């Protein structure tokens, strides 16, 4: 569990970087993400090698996060350098999404702590409840915050739910 917490650092940057890579692919440019990927390995090595003696495999987890952060930073820099923009409200939406994710994270953590104290971890049932309960609550919290912040992604979720419901009614 401790190692996974160290990997969480890079998850934020990986989630930022993922759609940026697809932006390059949409422009038929697969070389740039590949070159940035090679450079990000050097970021990984630059962080991993000094941390490895002190933190062991936890240092590798942090280095992986640094690699993702470096990749995202280089990708964003190149988009700006080549005249691209992250306009049309992308930065505003990213900020609102980060706020929603932060509130969701606090809610998920609090529920997980409460369920752990209430149920413990003896047996499969309590373990599933401690994992699935906060996961479901996190999805609900995030969705409600998207609606509250009037982000267009909430409408995407609404349409997906409507399609699933229509298929169930038809089938």
The Cβ-side half-sphere exposure at 125, using a 13 Å CA radius, reads: 2
CA–CA separation, 16 vs 95, rounded Å? 12
* Mean pLDDT across 64-88: 83
Please choose, from the candidates 76, 110, 113, the residue with its C-alpha nearest in 3D space to the C-alpha of residue 91.
76
CA–CA separation, 100 vs 151, rounded Å? 11
CA–CA separation, 40 vs 45, rounded Å? 9
Confidence at residue 158, expressed as pLDDT on a 0 to 100 scale: 93
pLDDT classification of 84: cutoffs 50, 70, 90: low
Residue 94 has pLDDT above 80, yes or no: no
3-state secondary structure of 122: coil
**Whole-model pTM over 0.95:** no
CA–CA separation, 69 vs 141, rounded Å? 27
Cα end-to-end span (Å), the chain: 41
Q: What H or E segment, with its residue span, contains residue 46?
A: helix 31-55
Plot region of 72 (φ>0 → left; ψ -120 to 50 → alpha; else → beta):
alpha
Contacts of 87 (CB under 8 A, 6+ apart): none
Residue 132 has pLDDT above 70, yes or no: yes
* Mean pLDDT across 84-93: 68
Confidence at residue 118, expressed as pLDDT on a 0 to 100 scale: 95
Please give the share of the chain, as a percent, with pLDDT higher than 90. Answer: 61
* Mean pLDDT across 150-171: 90
Distance of CA 43 to the CA centre of its chain: 20
CA–CA separation, 167 vs 171, rounded Å? 6
Plot region of 122 (φ>0 → left; ψ -120 to 50 → alpha; else → beta):
beta
Mean pLDDT of the chain: 89
């Amino acid at each position: 569990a401790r190692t996974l917490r160290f990997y969480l650092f890079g998850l934020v940057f990986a989630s930022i970087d993922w759609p940026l890579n697809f932006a390059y692919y949409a422009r038929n440019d697969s070389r740039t993400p590949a070159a940035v990927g090679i450079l990000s390995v050097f970021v990984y090595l630059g962080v991993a090698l000094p941390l490895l003696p002190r933190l062991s495999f936890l240092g590798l987890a942090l280095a992986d996060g640094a690699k993702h952060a470096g990749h995202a930073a280089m990708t964003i820099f190149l988009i700006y350098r080549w005249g691209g923009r992250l306009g049309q409200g992308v930065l505003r939406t990213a900020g609102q999404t980060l706020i929603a994710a932060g509130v969701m994270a606090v809610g998920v953590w609090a529920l997980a702590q409460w369920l752990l104290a209430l149920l413990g971890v003896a047996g499969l049932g309590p373990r599933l409840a401690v994992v699935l309960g906060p996961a479901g609550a996190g999805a609900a919290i995030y969705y409600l915050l998207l609606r509250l912040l009037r982000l267009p992604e909430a409408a995407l979720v609404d349409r997906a739910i409507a399609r699933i419901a229509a298929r169930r009614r038809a089938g």
